[in-house]
Structure 1
Amino acid sequence: MFGRLGAPEIILILVVIILLFGAKKLPDMARSLGKSARILKSEAKAMKEEGNSSAQAPTSGEQPPAQRTIQAAPGDVTSSRPVNEPTDTTQR
C-alpha cells in the first residue's frame, strides 16, 4: 500500500512541505539541522575517544581532565564554547 513512492508522490510531498513551512524558512531549517548533526557527530566521537582513552589509562595517578572546546562546525570559532567535564565527587 505505502511501499512504493513514485516521482509524482515525492513531488507532491515536497510541494506540501514548501507550502506549510514557506520557502524562506526551509534553508534556515536545513542549516540548523546540519549544524545540529555536526555537533552530535563530534560529541559522539569525543565520547568514543574518551571511552577508549579511559580504558587504556593507568588508574594509579589521578589527573585533572583536560578542558575540551565544542565547535558547531570545523573552523567556526564564533559559536565555540569551553565544556567543563563532569567530575567524580564521591570519596573512596
Structure 2
Amino acid sequence: MFGRLGAPEIILILVVIVLLFGAKKLPDMARSLGKSARILKSEAKAMKEDSHTSAPAGPPNPGEQPPAQRTIQASPGDVNSSRPVNEPSDTTQR
C-alpha cells in the first residue's frame, strides 16, 4: 500500500516541498544537509579508527607523558573553525 511510490506521487511530494519551503531556501537547505552528512561520516570514521587502535587502559604511570592534543575540524577542509581538544582521561579506579 505505502511501499509503491510512482512518478506522480514523487512529483506531488516535490511540489509540496517547494511550496512549503520556497525555491530560494532549498539549495541552502540541501547544502547544509550535505555538510552535516559529511561531518557525521568523518566523525563515525574517526570513532571507528580510534576503537581499533586504542589499547585497554591501565593505571597511568607517573613518568608517562600526557597524550598529545588532537584538532577536530568542523567539516573536512574547513580550517577556520578547527580547535584543539583535550581528550578525556579515565579517572575511575578499581
Q: What amino acid maps onto 2:41 in structure 1?
A: K
Please state which structure has a larger fraction of its residues in helix.
Answer: 1
> For residue 37 of structure 1, what is the amino acid of its counterpart?
A
Equivalenced residues, count: 91
Structure 1, unmatched stretches of 5+, are none
TM-score (norm 2): 0.76
Among 77, 80, 91, the residue aligned to 1:78: 80
CA offset digits 1:31-60 (Å, max 9, x no partner):
1111111111111111111111113x7958
Q: TM-score, normalised by structure 1?
A: 0.78
RMSD: 2.3
Query: Is residue 67–residue 85 contact of structure 1 (8 Å, CA) maintained in 2?
Result: yes
Q: Which runs of 4+ in 1 moved over 6 A?
A: none
Aligned to 1:17: 17
Task: Report percent identity of matched pairs.
Answer: 86
Give 2:37's aligned residue. Answer: 37
Distance change in 2, residues 1:90/1:48 (3 Å): same
Q: Matches of 1:3 and 1:88 in 2, distance apart? A: 48
Residue aligned with 1:65, SS: coil
